[in-house]
């Protein structure tokens, strides 16, 4: 039975997603992606590796934002939200194959390629996360929620990078302590 074009496209995205997150965006070849997806290289549905990288990040962003929107744990206030948010971040970082935040890694790997389409997707994703944080903080009554969300983003990025650098999952706890102080600002 022949696979549909959309099924093949999703197999490629899934294969590339797994390889990119484990090995990095620039170190993975199109041949590796094709082999993992179980297709011939000629059958790939992307014009270039750059286009595939952007598509994978867009796909991953959609999944990540959906997970954030499903995050809804009942919390009474901003401090409880912060604790829950950074606890989940720490749980993610404790996974054996944790390799940092893919969107941040992509932007770093492509730092010298300012016009690369994957960088635009990473930028859009980080803005969407910041917007989600602002909405959640506002719902818990945090004053100046947009400002606090930007500060929590800084703490989030720092915690993710430092967990990777030090292989130490205590960074989200430190970030949560700092965030609780920030959300008390008036």
| Cβ atoms < 10 Å from Cβ of 14 | 15
End-to-end CA distance of the chain: 63
Closest CA to 151 of 181, 186, 179: 179
pTM of structure: 0.85
Tell me what pLDDT residue 129 has. Answer: 94
**Residue ranges of the alpha helices (H) in the chain?**
5-23, 30-37, 49-69, 78-93, 102-109, 117-139, 145-166, 171-183
Beta carbons of 78 and 141 less than 8 angstroms apart: yes
CA distance 121 to 57: 6
Q: Tell me whether residue 18 is in a domain.
A: no
Per-residue pLDDT of 113-167, as tens digits, reads 888 888 899 999 999 999 999 999 999 999 999 999 999 999 999 999 998 889 8
Q: Tell me whether residue 9 is in a domain.
A: no
Tokens matching residue 56: 């994978």
Beta carbons of 175 and 182 less than 8 angstroms apart: no
Beta carbons of 90 and 176 less than 8 angstroms apart: no
Q: Tell me whether residue 17 is in a domain.
A: no
- The domain of 85 spans 48-183
Domain count, the chain: 1
Q: Tell me whether residue 140 is in a domain.
A: yes
- Residues in the chain, how many? 186
Per-residue pLDDT of 38-79, as tens digits, reads 887 666 678 888 889 899 999 989 988 888 887 766 778 999
Tokens matching residue 10: 């999703």
Per-residue pLDDT of 135-145, as tens digits, reads 999 999 999 99
Tell me what pLDDT residue 24 has. Answer: 83
Q: Tell me whether residue 42 is in a domain.
A: no
Domain harbouring 105, CATH code: 1.10.357.10
Q: Tell me whether residue 64 is in a domain.
A: yes
Q: Tell me whether residue 123 is in a domain.
A: yes
Q: Tell me whether residue 174 is in a domain.
A: yes
């Amino acid at each position: 039975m022949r696979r549909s074009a959309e099924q093949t496209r999703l197999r490629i995205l899934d294969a590339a997603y797994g390889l990119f997150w484990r090995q990095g965006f620039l170190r993975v070849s199109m041949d590796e992606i094709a082999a993992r997806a179980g297709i011939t290289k000629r059958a790939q549905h992307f014009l270039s590796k750059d286009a595939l990288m952007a598509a994978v990040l867009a796909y991953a962003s959609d999944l990540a934002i959906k997970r954030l929107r499903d995050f809804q744990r009942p919390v009474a206030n901003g401090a409880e939200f912060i604790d829950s948010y950074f606890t989940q971040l720490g749980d993610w970082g404790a996974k054996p194959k944790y390799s940092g935040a893919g969107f941040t890694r992509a932007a770093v790997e492509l730092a010298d390629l300012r016009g690369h389409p994957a960088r635009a997707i990473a930028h859009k994703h980080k803005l969407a996360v910041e917007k989600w944080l602002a909405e959640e903080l506002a719902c818990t009554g945090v004053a100046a929620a947009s400002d606090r969300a930007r500060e929590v983003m800084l703490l989030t990025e720092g915690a993710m990078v430092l967990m990777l650098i030090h292989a130490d999952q205590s960074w989200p706890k430190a970030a949560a302590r700092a965030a609780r102080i920030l959300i008390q600002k008036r």
